[in-house]
Structure 1
Amino acid sequence: MKPIVEELGRRGNQVVVVFPEASLSMGPSEQTTTLTYPVNYTKAELEANLADQLNTILSIDISTDLAKFQSFIISLDVLPMFILRNTEGLLFNKDSMKKLQDYNFDAILTDPFEPVGAIAGEYLSVPAIYMLINHPCGVDTLASQCPAPASYVPQAFTHFTDHMNLWQRNLNLRKTSMMEIMSRAALWFLRFDFAVEFPRPVMPNMVMIGATVSQKPKPLSQVSLFCS
């Protein structure tokens, strides 16, 4: 991405490059304006984490399908902590977000593998241009609505080919969200009291059972009956 934005700057475009203070890949350039934001980790921490994760991935024997899947899971865990810190560092920094708003960008160029750029573009209502190879779990395919039959289009990092057996095809079907899983419920027992909720539609498989409690009520020690 760095040579692209520098060439845009050489052609007379105003280019603002936004990256964390502890970045390993980006830095100042004569052709662009840089805007850094603080993060709560150091460059040394980032380098050490990457080296440790890379050594773990390279030490795995991927001669079996199970080992390949294990390598894929570990590869997804390389930068989650730093991605979260980057996102919080920019989006929660009022000064940095105010500066980005003042620039009034025409477009944002970002790699959605780290979602901070995509989220910032959505917040600023700026058209996004994504530059990526592929995204874990095929999110890029889903977001772009590209056809990707699981029978012969392997997910990234699975090391599968376009000829998969039944077990490999099952592993290849990872495009499931919690919403999709919950949508398959046969029956919903709604434990709240509908009398105190806002009116709203419900589906035929939703049953109101009232506000139940976790403990059974204890029997009364003595009952008095008054009759007139």
Structure 2
Amino acid sequence: MNRLPLPEAVIFDLDGTLFQTETLLETVHRRVFETLRNERLYTEATPPIDKLLGSLGMLLEDIWKRVMPEGSPQAHERANVLLLQYELEELSRGRGSLYPGVPETLAALRRRGIRLFIASNGLELYVKGVPEIKGIAELFEGTYSAGEFGTASKVELVRRLTDTFGVRSAWMVGDRSSDVEAGLKNGLSVVGCDYAGFRREGELDGSHAVIRSFPELLDLLPEQEL
């Protein structure tokens, strides 16, 4: 595996990178569409969960256009509210898992003096809630979300983060094309995560390195740092 230059910081996507989203979303997805039908905001069958999982990384408004294109603006707005409500409820019940090795790998990066951040296109309370509930929040210097800052793209969100925290060199780590784009357009090294199982073909093209388990991240550090 090719090693990358030692970064000052590492910026992580959340879903499909740190967090096994499908372990939470299978239940949340079902509950959202049951409620929409009960409230007569949506009358179609529940879309396949794979359609939602395959849309992760997009902004929420774009997710619902893809998952339920026949849904009204009111259904999409209500789905936003329900998604967050049910995600937080299920997280508080213990549902959802980090990928194997995430806490240990993050702690190892911190011990080497590397600053850690999260940048996600999700809603603010969800993006901050997952690390908090899963016990890794204290490892991150900052957690940025499109939901909090109203950014129109991951590129803009990452640029805002690096500017705010004065980050000069970093790795962008994520599983979607939006993460690759955000890293490349901000002049960062890009590490693609190929273990989530719901990415599209060619999605990680342009990455400087690709890992197939989270702990492989440590193998990318320069040898003298190991």
Q: Same fold (TM over 0.5)?
A: no
- How does the TM-score come out when normalised to structure 2? 0.33
Name the structure with the higher helix share. Answer: 2
Larger relative contact order (CA 8 Å, sep ≥ 6): 2
Instruction: State TM-score, norm by structure 1.
Output: 0.33
Larger Rg: 1
